[in-house]
Amino acid sequence: MRRTVFLMLLLLTLPACAASVLRSARESIKKGANLAGTEKTLLAEAVKPSTTHADQAECYRLAAECNRKLHAQQNVKLYLKQQFDTVQFYATLLNVFKQLELCDSVEQQPDEKGRVRINNRKKSREILLSYRRNLYNGGVFHYRKQAHAQAFSYFDRYVGCASHPIFTPDSFATTDSLLPRAAYLAVVSAFQAKQYQGVIRHANLARTAGLQRHLVQEYLCRSYEALGDSLSRVDALWQGLRSDASHPYFFSNLQDYLVQSGQLDKALAVADSMIQTDSRNPLYWYARSLVLLKQERDREAIDACDSCIVCDSNYVDAYYNKGIASLNLAVVYTEQACTDLSNPKCLRDQQIIRSLYTLAKLPMEKVRQLEPDNVGRWGPPLYRIYLHLNMGREFDEIDRLLPH
């Protein structure tokens, strides 16, 4: 019996508790006192299971009013040219958006009796329309200070609220010319803040801004990579290559993926297609040589390296590939060469082998010239070359350089 009475008393006091919080909040807002504390109390009350549907919506609405009051107080200081807190000036404005959107979201849900009553949307729209441009300005303020996480929260909200039901009459998707730029800034800020889902969310709209589309696409690829979504990353690389072929990031990373996954024919086809669009780009010829090396088509790889070197006489990787391809030819030919010293073919074979090692010598020495400190790269190949060419002095030098 006592337990029943206690539960009844508790149930009777719960609504009164919410009513007390709301009543106290209205007084604080009217007086402009303890607004931050009042907001905190309202938000805590809103998430209690005992808070009714209507009271929950009202908690969010009044929390927004607290922030409007705080924003107005900072605005007065600005008008009077007094010292004011710019961060709080924008933060309170952002909170108004968050809380009025929460209020609207609650009202979109059926109440305890299954009714949907959207009472505050019209007023919320009027309030938020007057603040919306400053939401963008808040993002710019933090962006210029390189506070990327904070900047993203403003740009994200600016773009996101455009599709919120509160703003349905405004059709911002078609009427707001600032929206693509805000999306672009949201992408850059999100990437710098390592909020990769934000990059993915805004990339499509950001590409329409006409601002460094290749950078937006690159950030999208990198975001998928950071999130471990390799399938989406590859799709984004293909899209980037089709739309911005001149940006080397897409081609290089797509080639790496195709080669590493064993799709050599496809990698060669991509390299060849890029060569057709720009035969003076050394990167494409180098990529072709790399795939041909993997396919053990060494003579064709040497030709591709020569084409690369014509485009860029200091392209060190092309010299390296040419040296390795020539060494491969020498090794293969040695395995098939005649070893019968009485056979005239033996002498001819030895001359061919020597010419192949000589062919490998010049490009590998060029690698050494271009990267003198990278002994681990050019040292072992030159060791083999000098050994087979019987170049004693050069061999001894390399032997001293290599670890034993």
The confidence score (pLDDT) of residue 13 equals 47
Cβ neighbours for 50, distance < 8 A, ≥ 6 positions apart: 14, 15, 17, 18
What is the 3-state secondary structure of 267-302?
HHHHHHHHHHHCCCCHHHHHHHHHHHHHCCCHHHHH
Q: At 320, is the secondary structure helix, strand, or coil? A: helix
Are 53 and 40 within 8 A, CB to CB?
no
Alpha-carbon gap, residue 29 to 158, rounded angstroms? 26
Closest by CA position to 44, among listed 54, 55, 30, 31: 55
Alpha-carbon gap, residue 369 to 374, rounded angstroms? 10
With both helix axes pointing from N to C terminus, report the angle between 248-260 and 264-277 in degrees, rounded to the nearest 10. Answer: 160
Alpha-carbon gap, residue 130 to 265, rounded angstroms? 58
Residue 344 CA: distances (Å) to CA of 21, 31, 350: 106, 110, 10
Are 395 and 382 within 8 A, CB to CB?
no
Are 186 and 223 within 8 A, CB to CB?
no
The confidence score (pLDDT) of residue 386 equals 94
Alpha helices in 32-85 (DSSP H): 35-46, 53-79
The confidence score (pLDDT) of residue 18 equals 79
The confidence score (pLDDT) of residue 193 equals 97
The confidence score (pLDDT) of residue 350 equals 85
Alpha-carbon gap, residue 7 to 21, rounded angstroms? 21
Q: At 49, is the secondary structure helix, strand, or coil? A: coil
Closest by CA position to 362, among listed 399, 311, 325: 325
Are 330 and 322 within 8 A, CB to CB?
no
Alpha-carbon gap, residue 190 to 186, rounded angstroms? 6
Identity (one letter) of the amino acid at 277? T
Cβ neighbours for 283, distance < 8 A, ≥ 6 positions apart: 248, 251, 252
Per-residue b or e along 279-315, where b marks 16 or more CB atoms closer than 10 Å to that residue's CB: eebbbbbbbbbbbbbeeebbebbbbbbebbbebeeeb
Alpha-carbon gap, residue 365 to 354, rounded angstroms? 16
| pLDDT tens over the chain, length 404 residues | 555 444 444 444 444 477 888 998 999 898 888 999 999 999 999 999 999 999 999 999 999 999 999 998 888 888 888 887 899 999 999 999 999 999 999 999 988 888 898 999 999 999 999 999 999 999 999 999 999 999 999 999 999 999 999 999 999 999 999 999 999 999 999 999 999 999 999 999 999 988 789 999 999 999 999 999 999 999 999 999 999 888 999 999 999 999 999 999 999 999 999 999 999 999 999 999 999 999 999 999 999 999 999 999 999 999 999 999 999 999 988 888 777 667 777 878 888 889 999 999 999 999 999 999 999 999 999 999 999 999 999 999 999 999 87
Alpha-carbon gap, residue 259 to 202, rounded angstroms? 31
Token duo for residue 319: 């010299």
Token duo for residue 284: 């494409």
CA angle 147/148/153 to nearest 5° reads 105
Closest by CA position to 295, among listed 329, 250, 265: 265
The sign of the torsion formed by the CA atoms of 317, 319, 320, 321 equals positive
